[in-house]
Structure 1
Amino acid sequence: MRLLSGANLTKEGKEEREASIREWTGLTAGADLDSVLKTLRAPETRLEKAPPQLKAELRPYQLTGYSWLRFVTRLGLGACLADDMGLGKTVQVISLLLDLKREPSKKTKIASLLVVPASLIANWKAELGKFAPSLAYAVVHPSEANAKGGEVGPEEAGTLDLIVTTYGMLVRTDWLKEYQWRLLILDEAQAIKNSGTKQTRAVKELTAAARVAMTGTPVENRLSDLWSLFDFLNPGLLGTAKQFSSFVKKLQDDPDRSFEPLRNLVRPYILRRLKTDKRVISDLPDKTEVNAFCSLSKHQAALYQTAVAELAEQLEAADGIQRRGVVLAQLMRLKQICNHPAQVTGTNDYRADRSGKFQRLAEIAEEIASRQEKMLVFTQFREVTEPLADFLATLFGRPGLVLHGGTSVPKRKQYVDRFQREDGPPFFVLSLKAGGTGLNLTSASHVIHFDRWWNPAIENQATDRAFRIGQKKNVLVHKFICRGTVEERIDEMITRKSQVANEAIGGNDSGEVLLTEMDDDALLQFVKLDLQQAIDA
């Protein structure tokens, strides 16, 4: 497969020889392999009927996705369903599970395994109940118990179609790694992007006849994410980690080299459709993203300059791991100052006139309130969720909702149901990590990123709480950026960095922030305050 694609992942010195071999041998796929590759690359050419037990009508692109998954997994290959968030990856995979159920491989059942983040257990239970009530499943997690109140083990698995568990449970539950699964599915598969973590190693110890990865962000930060994902799906296809790293370095160092061979190599195993592609789905409204530039108050500017001066002092005395910790801590502090001085001082005095972002939020929220529209506000800082909600309540004339890591799972569902009602609360403030995945909040037509998570893939997942199937209005996304500060320079850096992932697989956003590795002068130049830009005259 590597020779066919032209992606050379062999050791240094063999490249020229292999290129010449390809040239004079005229290497092509045989008839059978060529037929398989054509179907993998153009899945719409081989459509199946949806399983009759499915309690939903698949959209045309979802039927294509299900047919493709069925084809790939029957070959025993690994498939990455990388559709945009909100396009219905779950219902496509549930269709595949129903297809397996109607064609049992033996007299006794062989269960499939679904691994999800703990926060998505409730979502999967709801979707399975809605779309596939005939599927017999159990959840292996402390928050759940089977009907008898005991723990699910390998004996029960033999009577079920599906076992649902979490990445954390894989590390602690030996029998999950010893069982021979029929199909292994990872949801939010970017969880295994780091090949060195315990949970990634636990996932790769699992045994199954076929593997499926579900992710809207197959390359989240760097191309090594792609290697780790394929080391799970189709081990060996992208060579060893060292070979792939060397290959990528050559691509990035030489502007004349093309990403096309890598794209050709991975394309048969990744199916990615974008909501913005009208050929995929024509009845989803448009999404418009705008940068909402904010100024700093004088108090913010003074705090910011003090923090930069402190960073300069600390850099002189720190090195190695300690230096990295200093840089990360001060970057976080600078971001908090950009939000509101009270976040840093701990005074709880969140008056709007002390923060440029609060004043900008007021301008936008007042207009949204006048139109009687709804909004989502995302922040990475839990401590600012309540002050934001209190402030917005004064603008909308009634309270909204707040969700963060401390919100219980039952309450999350209640909040979502309340917000989705036409007469529900007008705004929802969410912490990025807790509210960025697994929630359907299509009653909102405005999304505000109050502070920037410096990885656009994570940010886009949060935006997709509103921009997904079921949305009837155009979605306007406001990204708050304080002018003349580190936020503005990070935004510029992300824009440049994201092009690498786009070229590798197409259509994905990526950002790689390596500020901790800058030398002192470059770092201080990066974070310094441009007073002319930062403060309104």
Structure 2
Amino acid sequence: KLLAQLGPTLPDGGKRLKTHIQVLRDQLVAINLQASLLKGDTSRETSTSSASIMNGQMGSVVQPTFRTFTLPSGGRVEYPSMAPDVRMKMFAEKPAANRLYGGHMNPERQMQARIATEEVVHRIHKSLETCPPEHTETQDPAGLKVHLMAHQREALTWLTWRETQVPPGGILADDMGLGKTLTMISLILKSKLEEDNKAQADQEKWLSTSEECRNLIPSQATLVVAPASLLGQWEKEIENKVKRGLLETCIFHGPNRETSALHLAKHDVIITTYMIIEKELGPKAKAMSLLGRIAWKRVILDEAHQVRNPKSQTSQAVCKLRAMHRWAVTGTPVQNRETDLFSLLRFLRCSPFDEHHVWKIWVENKSAQGMKRLNLLTKSLLLRRTKDQVNPKTGAPLVVLPEKKSFCHRMKLQPEEKVIYDHVLTFSQHALRQYLMKDSEREAQLEVRFAGAPGASAQPHGGPKIPGQDGMDVKAHHLLVLLLRLRQICCHPGLIKSMLDSESRAGAGIEDEEEEDLDLLEQLQGLSIRADGETVDEAVTKKVFTSVNPVFNPTRRSTKIKMLLEQLQTTRDSSGSERDKIVVVSQWTSMLEIVKTHLQEAGFRVQGITGMVNIKERGKIVEDFNTNPRGAEVLLLSLGAGGVGLNLVGGNHLFLLDMHWNPQMESQAADRIYRMGQEKDITVHRFLCEETVEERILELQQKKLMLADNVLKGARNKANKISIEDLKTLFNMA
């Protein structure tokens, strides 16, 4: 009242005084809120006060609204209408629309951001109290033609609970081969059978009145985004496991895909690919997005680790989808580092942790408190079970699978291959020394990420020139190329003759900076490498790096191809009347082409799935391999096209020809045959060339596996980088 009376008499009309009083009020509320958080007070007044603070400079932040979750006798769950602020967050054009951090962060704004974040953390704690008891099972949805396993019924309970929370969705991270696809289909079917007409009408009314969302087309459909190789698998799974007519499915892919958003919105399930999403919603999208015009009931990202790089165009595109419920389905939610999990939380719109600044300050800050918050987020939003877990009620494994054996076949390069390998290794060691000469600070830490993650390319660093190499400026990605070449020589020296194709770049984490030639073959040819006592002329006349050298001929059997043929023949001879089937995996299609030639010469019936194979044809190849005893006995599989999601239970032997930087990729490949539905004992064969870079890659793989396991278990981890010492080890300079 005093301010109202005296304000008009002041030069500025009392605005400055009014602002100062408001700041003091906010600080007082902040002190009270922090005290209440420490005491565990969750009174309605505290929430209201915090929310009122956030309606100032910062805009509104979604505050979780907790709902009691109950399972009546019939297993039916009442879905309450979501609060308007939650709807706005889910249907907004992009995540983290109202940022806590950014611009000038004065003390008041820092306090406001802290209060809002602490309250969300506190409320997530409270939300866990509403979580159904562990091992609570939900009945199979009516219309399902198969019986769910116990762990799938438990997952259905948890999934249903998560769809009533904030954010409404989560991460299903069950081990590969535990039937995640059928579990998600059961959720879709259950949700449709229990549709609440009133809640649906309320949401449609809200969409029509919201200024930002009024142009969206309301839909009760679920959009499934999956790798191209899994389109047919999702369609066939619905067709085989759900009674006809209950779920109307549409494949949104190819040049003849649906062009009407209204027609598309009327289906129950729409299945599309990450590439289509990137074309429709990515930065290079040319026309109005069809998928972006629909307000989906649910979006499911299958093999969601595909978007683990938050800077990739695909990751940014999927975040623009508008949906009430969001699910990330992946057996490997963390592959390289904790940031992998941030990408999924951003897609889920787990406010405020979908804002990168909040994530870095509050979670990925290398502190014990940060790890506790990460553990809390995973406990609330993520469900993970593994094949080796047992059901506490029965003492039996979650799924009964045949025996799994793993063998590592060690071999030495042939003398002529060793010559090529040693030449490249010597050149690589020389390049690394030159790279390190610039300054001693490089010894501390080289910011080169592990190769293998899409978009995780090394940034070039300028360095001194190698003596005798005109214009050869050693950069970080040159070292990655050399590592790639060493790995390829271990498979077949012929692989290093070709220029780097797009597949090899993606697999090595290399980007072509300024169209620079990444093939170092010419530099290798120009480098004089001599044996002890050998003259320069004698070394030159050998012409090691020329096309006439027979070691590069694809028809020549390399060390690994010889070993593969021996093992395949042994498997064939020991399999009896019912022949075993075999999957051979490589990350390079060029290697698979060489292998195919040698296998066909040896009399093996061979089929292959690579990125060049049409999507529809892939399904036919998989079906034939799994069911036709007279079909192909060997399936060649590229790690990129078939390393995820495919069901290849027709095979019971899997050969990994080369070692990938990312061990999770190899685990994914092995689980193509070791999964529900497998009836035979399976064997995984790994090939490793001794005294080469492959031995040292194996050591780095173990580090990455430990990192992923620790994140899921809530343990603390170091940054995932290749240090200078790691590079020295890889180049055998340690």
Q: Same fold (TM over 0.5)?
A: yes
Aligned to 1:526: 730
Say yes or no: does 1:348 pair with 2:553. Answer: yes
Matches within 5 A, 1:239-250: 240-245=355-360, 250=365
The two structures, once aligned, show a CA RMSD in angstroms of 3.3
- Counterpart of 1:268, as a letter, is S
Aligned to 2:489: 337
- Counterpart of 1:156, as a letter, is H
Please tell me whether the aligned partners of residues 300 and 337 of structure 1 are also in contact (alpha carbons under 8 angstroms). Answer: yes
SS of the aligned residue for 2:674 comes to: coil
1:420-474 Cα distance to aligned partner (Å, 9 max, x none): 2334332222111112123221122221110011111111111111001111122
- d(CA) in 1 for partners of 2:623 and 2:269? 27
Aligned to 1:112: 222
- Counterpart of 2:461, as a letter, is G
- Counterpart of 1:118, as a letter, is A
Say yes or no: does 1:283 pair with 2:400. Answer: yes
Tell me, which stretches of 5 or more residues in structure 1 are unaligned?
1-16, 146-150, 531-537
Aligned to 2:279: 172
Aligned to 2:190: 99
Aligned to 1:8: none
- d(CA) in 2 for partners of 1:102 and 1:222? 39
Aligned to 1:59: 149
Which among 267, 271, 279 is matched to residue 383 of structure 2? 271
Shift of 1:67: 2.1
1:280-305 Cα distance to aligned partner (Å, 9 max, x none): 52421232333222211111211111
- Counterpart of 2:375, as a letter, is R
Which among 161, 165, 175 is matched to residue 71 of structure 1? 161
Aligned to 1:430: 637
- d(CA) in 2 for partners of 1:369 and 1:48? 45
- Counterpart of 2:483, as a letter, is L
- d(CA) in 1 for partners of 2:228 and 2:476? 30
The percent identity for this pair of structures is 30
SS of the aligned residue for 2:660 comes to: coil
Give the number of aligned pairs.
497
Say yes or no: does 1:441 pair with 2:648. Answer: yes
| Counterparts in 2 of 1:170 and 1:434: CA distance versus 1, 3 Å | closer
| Worse overlay, 52-61 or 158-167 | 158-167
Please tell me whether the aligned partners of residues 81 and 212 of structure 1 are also in contact (alpha carbons under 8 angstroms). Answer: yes
Matches within 5 A, 1:82-97: 82-97=173-188
- Counterpart of 2:682, as a letter, is V
| Counterparts in 2 of 1:159 and 1:246: CA distance versus 1, 3 Å | closer
Please tell me whether the aligned partners of residues 81 and 270 of structure 1 are also in contact (alpha carbons under 8 angstroms). Answer: yes
| Worse overlay, 357-366 or 373-382 | 357-366
- Counterpart of 1:139, as a letter, is I
1:467-521 Cα distance to aligned partner (Å, 9 max, x none): 011111222212211111111111111102321221121499x999744xx44x8
Say yes or no: does 1:405 pair with 2:611. Answer: yes
Matches within 5 A, 1:365-384: 365-372=568-575, 373-384=580-591
Which among 243, 261, 266 is matched to residue 154 of structure 1? 261
Matches within 5 A, 1:108-507: 110-132=220-242, 133=244, 134-145=246-257, 151-173=258-280, 174-236=289-351, 238=353, 240-245=355-360, 250-251=365-366, 259=371, 261-279=373-391, 280-315=397-432, 316=434, 320=461, 323-345=475-497, 347-352=552-557, 355-372=558-575, 373-393=580-600, 397-420=603-626, 421-506=628-713
- d(CA) in 2 for partners of 1:524 and 1:305? 15
Larger gyration radius, structure 1 or structure 2: 2
SS of the aligned residue for 1:466 comes to: coil
- d(CA) in 2 for partners of 1:171 and 1:418? 32
Shift of 1:23: 9.9
| Counterparts in 2 of 1:383 and 1:22: CA distance versus 1, 3 Å | farther
Shift of 1:350: 3.7
Shift of 1:326: 0.8
- Counterpart of 2:427, as a letter, is E
Shift of 1:28: 8.7
Shift of 1:178: 3.1
Shift of 1:339: 0.6
- d(CA) in 2 for partners of 1:440 and 1:124? 11
SS of the aligned residue for 2:333 comes to: coil
Shift of 1:211: 0.9
Which among 32, 39, 58 is matched to residue 25 of structure 1? 39
| Counterparts in 2 of 1:371 and 1:21: CA distance versus 1, 3 Å | farther
Please tell me whether the aligned partners of residues 350 and 387 of structure 1 are also in contact (alpha carbons under 8 angstroms). Answer: yes
Please tell me whether the aligned partners of residues 405 and 434 of structure 1 are also in contact (alpha carbons under 8 angstroms). Answer: yes
Please tell me whether the aligned partners of residues 112 and 182 of structure 1 are also in contact (alpha carbons under 8 angstroms). Answer: yes
| Counterparts in 2 of 1:114 and 1:456: CA distance versus 1, 3 Å | same
- d(CA) in 2 for partners of 1:138 and 1:478? 39
Please tell me whether the aligned partners of residues 494 and 511 of structure 1 are also in contact (alpha carbons under 8 angstroms). Answer: no
Shift of 1:39: 5.5
